[in-house]
């Protein structure tokens, strides 16, 4: 029986954003910062930051995990560093304030052009058929209606506030 796989997601959560040593099948060992634990397979996603500036991602399959030991407690900075690795390219390096400014600017611009828009979390919802996700550029629009998609993308592109 694999003790690691028997844990519940809330128990795995304490490992996230911490540096750990994982002992796996046949005593193989892995070290890194835990980005997440897959709740279905119990696999651990480890991140290693190299001095060269490169980042390595390792996935240790849940069925192979024999023991996990926390080496270093990660703080808010490590959480933000890990989270930023997996954000869309245009999203990286933008502060929450800048993203909010872009969202507000785009919402006002769409309203000025008499386009019905609502906020749904981080996304803007246009006419109930199109979403604009962070960082709120034309490439961040998605809809199954290609005509509306094209028109809203050109409107987003023409927003006078620099995106």
Report residue 137: phi and psi, to 5°.
-105, 175
Residue with the larger pLDDT of the pair 89 and 118:
118
Kindly report the number of other CB atoms within 10 A of residue 50's CB atom: 8
Q: Record the pTM.
A: 0.57
Q: How do residues 17-76 score in pLDDT, each as one tens digit?
A: 999 999 998 899 999 999 999 999 999 999 999 988 899 999 999 999 999 999 999 888
User: Residue 90 above 60 pLDDT?
Assistant: no
Q: How do residues 95-136 score in pLDDT, each as one tens digit?
A: 788 889 999 999 999 999 999 999 998 899 998 999 999 889
| Dihedral sign (CA 106, 109, 115, 116) | positive
Distance CA 124, CA 132 (A): 5
Residue with the larger pLDDT of the pair 81 and 131:
131
């Amino acid at each position: 029986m694999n003790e690691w796989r028997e844990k519940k997601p809330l128990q795995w959560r304490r490992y996230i954003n911490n540096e750990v040593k994982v002992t796996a099948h046949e005593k193989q060992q892995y070290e890194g910062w835990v980005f997440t634990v897959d709740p279905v397979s119990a696999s651990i996603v480890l991140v290693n930051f190299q001095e060269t500036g490169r980042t390595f991602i390792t996935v240790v399959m849940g069925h192979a995990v024999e023991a996990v030991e926390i080496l270093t407690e990660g703080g808010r900075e490590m959480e933000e560093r890990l989270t930023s690795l997996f954000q869309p390219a245009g999203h990286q390096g933008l502060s929450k304030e800048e993203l909010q400014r872009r969202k507000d600017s785009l919402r006002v611009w769409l309203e000025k052009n008499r386009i019905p828009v609502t906020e749904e979390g981080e996304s803007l919802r246009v006419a109930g058929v199109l979403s604009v996700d962070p960082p709120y550029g034309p490439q961040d629009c998605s809809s199954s209606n290609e005509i509306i998609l094209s028109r809203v993308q050109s409107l987003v592109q023409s927003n006078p506030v620099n995106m």
